Amino acid sequence: MKWFVNDLSLQRQFGSDHEFLGVLQDLLRLRHKSAAVAEGLHCSKSLREAPVTAHSNFREAVQKSADQNLRRAVLEWVASKGPFWEDSRAANADDYFEVQTIDATDTGAGEAARQILIGAAASTYSFQGAAYDYSPLRITHGLSEAPLGQLDVTNVWTVDQLLADAHRLEAAPQNWEQVIERAKRRFDRLAFSSNISEILRGEPFIPYVVERLFELLRVLQEFVESRNADGTYSTETQRLINEHFSGEKAWFSGESDGNENDFRSKLTFRDSDDGEDHFCPWHGKIKTPQFRVHFPWPMESAQKTLKIFYIGPKITKK
């Protein structure tokens, strides 16, 4: 599946550069998490010139951002690496397409139509808030007064919709190596110890465990992302703590004092990156079978990622 960014959906609809950059941040996170989106979301080489606010085009809005990492990542995507649909443009003898009577031939919507005409699977992604928050997107092949045909193209206009599409397309992992690779792509605020693959290699592969593991990792990812820039807790951070880190049925908890003493050596993990030992009694829990995810807690305010040191069978069995 390929998604094509609908250039026509950028019509100066954003009230500020900041509002537009928020949408881009969500898209970038999704590209990091989903290989299907990173490889399948195609844009045009001219997208960076599209108008996004009353005073800025795409490129200008990005360059005004104070976040150097965001500027680099976005411009690398739309100005350097793509993927760009022009690099593999589908041929069509009657190459003219319209959307809402507007010429869409040299846009992502036009390319989606060309791809469908040659039998390929294609959808469009439209930026929200313009006139394209609906699906399917009807694309006219040929002049509107003498059409050659019409195509109804599936269209998504939110990151959640795009993520749902990607999940449907992305095959479930079949072994532990694929699980770890998938986790690294999806959860960019988590770092995984290199010995985790060795721990899991001898364990039976159980799809339910994988499903629960991804849920635990998702909450940890959201926790790290939710903190304020200085590492303090936001309202969302506190909500996650209340919901998942406290109470009898909490997904995450620390070991009892007795277990900390009896299993201290087994709960201490050597970091292959810095050579330091890390005591990690805090863990995420999978009940059947009993699997655990161990990590250092609480996070220091300056930390940008959370290191996962252990994924495997429960350590503190007596």
Asked if residues 53 and 62 have their Cβ atoms less than 8 Å apart, the reply is: no
How many Å apart are CA 104 and CA 18, to the nearest integer?
Answer: 28
76 pLDDT band, cuts 50/70/90, is: confident
How many Å apart are CA 82 and CA 22, to the nearest integer?
Answer: 20
The answer to whether residue 285 scores a pLDDT higher than 90 is: yes
How many Å apart are CA 248 and CA 216, to the nearest integer?
Answer: 16
- pLDDT tens for each residue of 17-72: 999 999 999 999 888 778 789 889 999 999 999 999 999 999 999 999 988 888 88
The answer to whether residue 128 scores a pLDDT higher than 70 is: yes
Q: Say how many CA atoms lie within 13 Å of 312 toward its Cβ.
A: 18
How many Å apart are CA 231 and CA 273, to the nearest integer?
Answer: 22
Q: Which pLDDT belongs to residue 29?
A: 87
Q: Which pLDDT belongs to residue 72?
A: 87
Partnered with residue 308 across adjacent β-strands are: 192
How many Å apart are CA 304 and CA 45, to the nearest integer?
Answer: 32
Question: What is this structure's pTM?
Answer: 0.59
Q: Under 8 Å CB-to-CB from 194, ≥6 apart: which residues? A: 272
Higher pLDDT, 172 or 107: 107
The answer to whether residue 222 scores a pLDDT higher than 90 is: no
Q: Which pLDDT belongs to residue 115?
A: 94
Question: Over the Cα atoms of the chain, what is R_g?
Answer: 23
